[in-house]
Amino acid sequence: MERDRPAFLCHHCGTLHGVRRLPFGVTASCRTCGAVLYRERRSSVERALALTLAAAVLFVVAHAFPFLTFSMEGSTRSGTILGSAAALWADDSWALAVVVVMLVTVIPLGKLGLELWVLLPLWKGRVAPGTFRLFAFADKSKTWAMTEVYLLAVLVAYVKLSDLASITVGPALWAFAGLILCLAAADNILDRRAVWWRLQPQNTMRALGRPNRVVAACHTCDQVVALPDDGHGYRCPRCTAVLHARKPRALARSWALLLAAAVLYVPANILPVMTVTSFGRAQADTILSGVIALVEAGMLPVALLVFFASVTVPLLKLVGLGFLLVSVQLGWTGKRRDRTRLYRIIEQVGRWSMIDIFMIAILAVLVDLGEIARIEPGPGALAFAAVVVLTMLAARAFEPRLIWDRPPISTKKASADGEPLRHPA
């Protein structure tokens, strides 16, 4: 019966669904906005654990060995991940060094550690202390663990340097590729929904009580809860995250972050992101002139990739998110599905803009041969990294369910909590 099914709330439009068992491999999408709700999978904690352990070993190898070795005029330089951050630090770009270390080393390592902490006991049928909070935290850190973006940056750096000098691929690059495969496979095998439901069953439609109460879904574990009438300060009974029918002050926060990003977008594009010195002659490159240089060197595919990641994606995020914010504030009711889709794209592609920053970090450590050849980060790089991080935060602060709230909400109301959703009878 419909009311005995576990309840599931779409995060993109707020429609309440009763979960049915589907055949394995089948994906359930939202009937209102088309977003993917969940996929029925044969979850295996055992296999996911094995892959996570393998990933942890590869993570150490990827950090211990050089990923590229650069030889020119009889001098040789090897680049490791931490070495590239240290090179930024030495060039007085300590803020960039911190960004690189956080996104490539600290956050991915933390996520691996937390997952092992939760999965190892779970495999033996036990629940480790702090499991609920830590598993939630591991899930949240996913957007900020940029291992695969870094690998792509290494490949771009490889192509860029290959006609300047002789470049050898080191063991860390293979370890990195293996690491990404293991992480992707572990992610695919472990059904996080099944793990959460095993830790504490999902509420059924019946458990939500009388119709017309305000319901909210936990942003972390997807538990669906009927909120008490005041609805504030209520926590998820499963993972203890604070629950909101709508993200609080979503529009104000998203606007503030987006405007800060838009302001920094100007220096990010005008100031040089790196300075290339070769045989005593220094040349400063902005993002766009870097792309043009790639085209002139005949590296069209790489130029297109960098153009897409560094020019198209940040612009899409600034303009697209600005459009979504305006459309919600004006209470537009048209093209809701398309606007939700635009939001999903903005949310997913944001992290790939970091390619340029990682590439500069890699070039700075490899090409450091004094007056013969030297690459240093410029002030534009930090501004650009800030634009990427701020637009990612702005997208996260935005509340896509405001697109679907009806009747159209006034600006005043939208800047508070928006219209709460009432679940159907």
User: Least distance in Å: CB of 241 to Zn ion?
Assistant: 5
Q: How many CB atoms lie within 10 A of CB 74?
A: 7
Q: N- to C-terminal Cα distance for the chain?
A: 14
Between 239 and 409, name the residue whose CB sits nearer to Zn ion.
239
User: Least distance in Å: CB of 236 to Zn ion?
Assistant: 3
Closest of 304, 387, 359, 294 to residue 151, by C-alpha: 359
Q: Are 11 and 35 in contact (CB under 8 A)?
A: yes
Close Cβ partners of 69 (under 8 Å, ≥ 6 residues apart) = 76, 77, 78, 79, 167, 168, 170
User: Least distance in Å: CB of 199 to Zn ion?
Assistant: 10
Close Cβ partners of 318 (under 8 Å, ≥ 6 residues apart) = 258, 261, 262, 265, 391
Between 203 and 254, name the residue whose CB sits nearer to Zn ion.
203
Between 47 and 336, name the residue whose CB sits nearer to Zn ion.
336
Q: Are 92 and 364 in contact (CB under 8 A)?
A: no
User: Least distance in Å: CB of 30 to Zn ion?
Assistant: 3
User: Least distance in Å: CB of 238 to Zn ion?
Assistant: 5
Between 12 and 317, name the residue whose CB sits nearer to Zn ion.
12
The β-bridge partners of 235 are: 242
User: Least distance in Å: CB of 367 to Zn ion?
Assistant: 47
**CA atoms of 107 and 385, how far apart (whole Å):** 17
Between 30 and 58, name the residue whose CB sits nearer to Zn ion.
30
User: Least distance in Å: CB of 15 to Zn ion?
Assistant: 5
**CA atoms of 316 and 309, how far apart (whole Å):** 10
E strands within 347-388? 373-377
Between 3 and 235, name the residue whose CB sits nearer to Zn ion.
235
Positions touching Zn ion (CB under 5 A) are 10, 12-13, 15, 30, 32-33, 35, 218, 220-221, 223, 236, 238-239, 241
User: Least distance in Å: CB of 150 to Zn ion?
Assistant: 30
Query: Phi and psi dihedrals of 407, rounded to 5?
Result: -65, 160
Cα atoms in the Cβ-side hemisphere of radius 13 Å centred on 219: 16
User: Least distance in Å: CB of 24 to Zn ion?
Assistant: 23
The alpha-helical segments, DSSP class H, found in 224-334 are 250-270, 287-296, 300-307, 313-329
Residue type, 367: V
Closest of 259, 91, 74, 249 to residue 165, by C-alpha: 74
Between 160 and 193, name the residue whose CB sits nearer to Zn ion.
193
Between 131 and 223, name the residue whose CB sits nearer to Zn ion.
223
Between 242 and 256, name the residue whose CB sits nearer to Zn ion.
242
CA 38, 338, 389, 378 torsion-angle sign:
positive
